[in-house]
A and B are shown apart, each in its own frame.
Chain A
Amino acid sequence: MSMLEVRNLGISFGGLRAVDNFNIKIEKGQLYGLIGPNGAGKTTLFNLLTGVYKPDKGVILLDGEDITGKKTTDINKAGIARTFQNIRLFKDLSVLDNVKVGLHNSFRYSVLTGILRLPKFRKVEKEMNQKAMELLKVFGLENEAHFVASNLPYGKQRKLEIARALATNPKLLLLDEPAAGMNPNETKELMDTIRFVQKEFDMTILLIEHDMKLVSGICEELTVLNFGQVLTQGETSKVLNDPQVITAYLGE
């Protein structure tokens, strides 16, 4: 069974068919890339997968479970976590707390336990701190754990977003332009981190990216979107040499 299977997905905004007849199959543990020119519908597709928009056509199956039309919150609980093209951190919370919010649904105690500071509160908070610090270490953020999130440099904010997404213990991780605004060194480091996450967490990853070095460097398969429709799909090297893709997106 595929980790993510999408059949005939489509959505319109007014007269614009933003995504049409979209199909994809991603196997467990795969690192999959989604590329295409600006306005092709890549982020719209992410918003469809995470329930921000409701599709007017098609089916989304996550690990065999139908999640079409569910709410964002429930889709996250079902196992999809994402990052955003324009970073959306909890900017006034500490770096550690950002990750702990991600752990919210895995570590539980009631509101009353928190207010009355019952023993369970201390126990669970300690476990959360440990787990969050482990995640921050993966991204090299352990020394900034007590910084306010908005004070982090740009590259680290992107990493923190990935850490927060991973904290929700997802089956599928969606990364929306993780390398946007990064310099070549930071991008290289990010590539290593993404590969590490794929191996270490046995994670299935779907990413949108414009940086071709990153795409050709780490993605195993690609889908190219153009005007809301799939232009071509397949192995990275084949797709990138496809004349259609070169005309529509890459350029001669």
Chain B
Amino acid sequence: MKDKFNFLKNSSVKSMFVTYAIVIVAYLVMEALMFTGSVNYLLMDLLVPLCVYSIVAIGLCLCVGYLGELSLGHAGFMCIGAFTSATFSSLTKEFISNEIVAFLLAFVIGTIFAGLFGFLIGIPVLRLRGDYLAIVTLAFGEIIKNIINVLFIGKDSKGIHVAIVDPDALKMEADGKYIINGAKGISGTPHLSNFTIGVILILISLFIVYNLVHSRSGRAVMAIRDNRIAAESVGLNVTGYKLMAFSISAAIAGAGGVLYAHNLSTLTATPANFGYNMSIMILVFVVLGGMRSFRGSIIAAVLLTMLPEMLRGLSDYRMLIYSVVLIAMMLFNWSPKFKELRSKYAGVFKRNKKSKEAV
């Protein structure tokens, strides 16, 4: 019987390490290619966004696949993480010279704020049954984006000024400096993100979600997803666990936002980066990745982000091809025949391993 426990432990641990290994190998290959100079600039510019989308997809996968709640506003949490951390970085960039310390602090601020907003939204919404979370998060994402577009924060010798809609209401001195300048956003954010930091953040996010899912609390979250009434009948604090999982999911999306913000010198909140389309796009990554697979979410995020860029040469046809690939992937990934094939190959893999172990 003891062997059986070990097997269970091993199988989940194995799957986890396979994912870590894939991320690390992909990183090393990419670094090696960059070292030899065989990577074009287009792809190099894509590396950090790839990490950003992977991280947010990991966060959303926790929410959709494991908590079983649909969120259409993860771009909003990403936005919170991006703007709070970028504000912090612009305010403190004169005082903190060490780049790693500066990024760490910005990271902590961004994730905490995103998690906090997730928590605040969750308090009323997660008590309800049904698709209310999807509706509220959808609205939240849009509201946050629009508020930031009319938000003005300035700094002068007297301190920090905040105003909404009217920049003159800041009443700053002539030498005052804008931190957030309405629709023009935040400019002059220190460029602290890079591919290495992005990959490290992916690994940290994976570590958190995998360990959470395979712990007592994660079991409770999945039990609530599977049957709320039964979960209550065995004494689980349903709202509490939902809130916990949703806040962590929002915080991870916020971490993606921090990485995003520190990759750009000018950060603005536009429909393209923090709008509804982005939320849906990340949802597409999660769904195509297999809903409950963090690894799948990352792979889908990387492939679908790279695809339109790789097809750039085909100009007008690229979005057409993109949509065809999307449909093909969906049909392929969920078709019974392919599932069968996949489990067959997985079986072969395991058998090979066993026979190797036997030798």
Contacts and interface: CB of A to CB of B under 8 A. Distances in A.
A182 interface: no
Contact of A92 (B222, B232, B237): B222
A73 interface: yes
Interface string A113-134: 1111100010011101100010
The interface centre, meaning the residue of A115, A129, A133 with most chain B CB atoms within 10 A of its CB, is A115
Nearest to A100: B219
Interface in B271-304: none
The interface centre, meaning the residue of B7, B212, B233 with most chain A CB atoms within 10 A of its CB, is B233
21 contacts: A73-B237, A76-B235, A81-B233, A89-B227, A93-B223, A97-B219, A101-B220, A101-B231, A104-B216, A108-B216, A111-B217, A113-B215, A114-B211, A114-B214, A114-B215, A115-B208, A124-B216, A129-B5, A146-B7, A146-B8, A167-B234
Contacts of B215: 109, 111, 113-115, 121
Task: Tell me whether chain A's interface is mostly helix, strand or loop, or mixed.
Answer: helix
A102 B234 contact: yes
Interface footprint category on B: 20 to 34
B233 A111 contact: no
Interface of A: 50, 52, 71-73, 76-77, 81-82, 84, 88-94, 96-98, 100-102, 104-105, 107-109, 111, 113-117, 121, 124-126, 128-129, 133, 142, 145-146, 164-165, 167-168
B234 A107 contact: no
Given A114-B211, A133-B1, A146-B4, A101 B229 contact: no
Contact of A73 (B1, B211, B236): B236
Task: Tell me whether chain B's interface is mostly helix, strand or loop, or mixed.
Answer: helix
B230 A90 contact: yes
B31 interface: no
B216 A116 contact: no
The interface centre, meaning the residue of B8, B215, B225, B231 with most chain A CB atoms within 10 A of its CB, is B215
Nearest to A117: B211
Contacts of A125: 216
Q: Which 7 A-B pairs have the closest CB atoms?
A: A114-B215, A76-B235, A88-B230, A90-B226, A72-B232, A101-B223, A90-B223
A114 B226 contact: no
Interface string B304-321: 000000000000000000
A55 B235 CA distance: 20
A194 B235 CA distance: 22
Interface string B1-31: 1001101100000000000000000000000
A94 B236 CA distance: 18
Contacts of A121: 215
Interface in B231-282: 231-238, 244
Interface string B199-217: 0000000011001101111
B73 interface: no
B198 to A, nearest CB: 21
Given A76-B234, A101-B219, A104-B220, 18 more contacts: A73-B237, A81-B234, A82-B233, A84-B230, A90-B223, A90-B226, A93-B222, A93-B223, A98-B223, A101-B231, A104-B235, A111-B212, A113-B215, A115-B212, A116-B211, A133-B1, A146-B4, A146-B8
